[in-house]
Amino acid sequence: METSMDGFWGVGSEGKINEVNETYCKMSGYNKSELLSLKVMNLEALECPEEIAARVKKIFAGGDDRFESAHRRKDGTIFPVEVSIQYRKIRDGRLAVFIRDISGRKKGEEENRKLQEQLAQAQKMEVVGRLAGGVAHDFNNMLSIILGYTELIKDECKEEEQLNGLLAIEKAALHSRDIARQLLAFSRKQLITPKVLDINHVISDAQKMVSRLMGEDILLELNLAPHIGPVMLDPAQIDQIILNLAANARDAMTNGGRMIFTTKNFQGDSTFFMEHPEITPGKYVLLQAEDSGMGIDAGTMKHIFEPFFTTKEVGKGTGLGLATVYGIVKQNNGHILVSSELGKGTIFSIYFPQHIDEQATIFIEKKFNPTLFGQGTILVVEDEQPLRKLIVTMLEKIGYTVLTSSSTEEAIEIFSREKNQIDLLVSDVVMPGINGIDLQKILLSKKPALKTLFISGFPVEVMASKGLTDATIPFLLKPFTMASLAEKIKEILK
């Protein structure tokens, strides 16, 4: 028994250990004399004395047993074991007990379980992502028309009752637009413009907006570490993360409470990365969102990042908030962990890789607030007639001269005649025949100084397949308002 790779006990009828080998001494941290003074109940970490007695009685009747359990070391730590027991007369004992430390096996099983959960989550995201991407173009085109004409009519409306109706239409359309964008975000199909950011600046800028969202009975605190490392992210996506986590926390604190956003540089140690093998060792920026809400039970925790999963009553939530956060984090090569205790609150910990580039300049968003009116000639290329007509109406209303085309071939003909007057090309990306990206290349060969604004309702992988991979190219996602179109054009032509 001394040479056995498994631990061994000889156990008497009263549960006292009468014999033990050196292997089990090394497992448990006790020496032999200490172990020989103990009973099984002193080492067993899962079963109570009554359960141990019932198991012994079963072995006496059946002759043997094999099961998994956990033992307690001398230092108090718990380790998983596989136990094999045979009923025999060995010296003064009645039970021969063989114990195998299965910590390595359990760790492997846990890692495999996590990987399986991540795979299942990714597959769910992919399924809904395909659905979202498939309907995004048509859905966003229709929303563009609804929002655009509502905005135009609203400006002319004089009667309060009619104006209230238009505002209700606009609110519903904006909500639909946000849901569509969340669908693309959590499925990682949202077109993004990543920049080197100081995440503290983005959080500080969002503080007022988050405070209004949380309400007066919830205290918002920022605990932002100085000298935080830079990250490569889209500022709009950080806003989405912050607002969705804040909304989730608000709903968990129905009687008020406290919400804390914390940032810090994080490098981790070997233990952390062993416990979370999905996270590659390296330098990270850690963003934590902590609330003092009701907490999340174990059953709910398994589903919180699933799209459309919600614990709220019908009509009170879409189930897209945390799924959106998860999708954005993964799209930016980050990781998200959650810890929660019922009655005490929840902590979301998000790890973004630090951007290692000493020459990089930190992006600080400028608040661009131009007047709507502008001057110049714009060539609009859009194959959807109702949307093309709407864009023309918007641009003419804010002062621009507009030339229109329903196809890229027609656009090339118009440009050949009017290129000296055209200041800007506004083109859909995906169209029959020549797409918008290739159209731009053709027109640039005729007029290298031509400015371009691309518009589209398609998700990111469709844009990439058409050649729109440069994040610096001006782009406006459908649906958009007249104000956002005017601001983007002013920014391009300034």
DSSP notation for 446-465: H-TT-EEEEEE-S-HHHHHH
The β-bridge relationship of strands 424-428 and 284-291 is unpaired
Spatial distance between the Cα atoms of 166 and 32, rounded to a whole number of angstroms: 83
Spatial distance between the Cα atoms of 298 and 248, rounded to a whole number of angstroms: 17
Q: Give the per-residue pLDDT at 152.
A: 85
Q: Give the per-residue pLDDT at 312.
A: 60
Q: Give the per-residue pLDDT at 465.
A: 60
Contacts by residues 418-422 (CB-CB < 8 Å, ≥ 24 positions apart): 418/377, 418/379, 419/443, 419/446, 419/447, 419/450, 421/377, 422/377, 422/378, 422/379, 422/447, 422/450
Domains of the chain: 7-101 (3.30.450.20), 107-186 (1.10.287.130), 195-353 (3.30.565.10), 377-493 (3.40.50.2300)
Q: Give the per-residue pLDDT at 63.
A: 80
Whether the CB-CB separation of 261 and 347 falls below 8 Å is answered with: no
For residue 120, give the nearest of 112, 110, 108, 130 by alpha carbon.
112
Q: Give the per-residue pLDDT at 346.
A: 94
Spatial distance between the Cα atoms of 398 and 255, rounded to a whole number of angstroms: 47
Token pair 């506004």: residue: 426
Residue 156's SS3 state is: helix
How far out from the chain centre does Cα 310 lie? 16
Whether the CB-CB separation of 373 and 398 falls below 8 Å is answered with: yes
The partner residues of 476 in beta bridges, in order of sequence, read 455
The partner residues of 367 in beta bridges, in order of sequence, read none
- Which residue numbers in the chain have pLDDT < 70? 89-93, 121-122, 124-137, 178-193, 308-319, 358-371, 458-472
137-189 tens-digit pLDDT: 677 788 888 888 888 888 788 788 888 888 888 888 877 776 666 666 655 45
Q: Give the per-residue pLDDT at 185.
A: 61
Q: Give the per-residue pLDDT at 315.
A: 47
436-446 helix and 408-418 helix, angle to the nearest 10 degrees: 20
**∠ Cα 366 283 189 (to 5°):** 55
Whether the CB-CB separation of 8 and 23 falls below 8 Å is answered with: yes
For 356, phi and psi rounded to 5 degrees? -95, 95
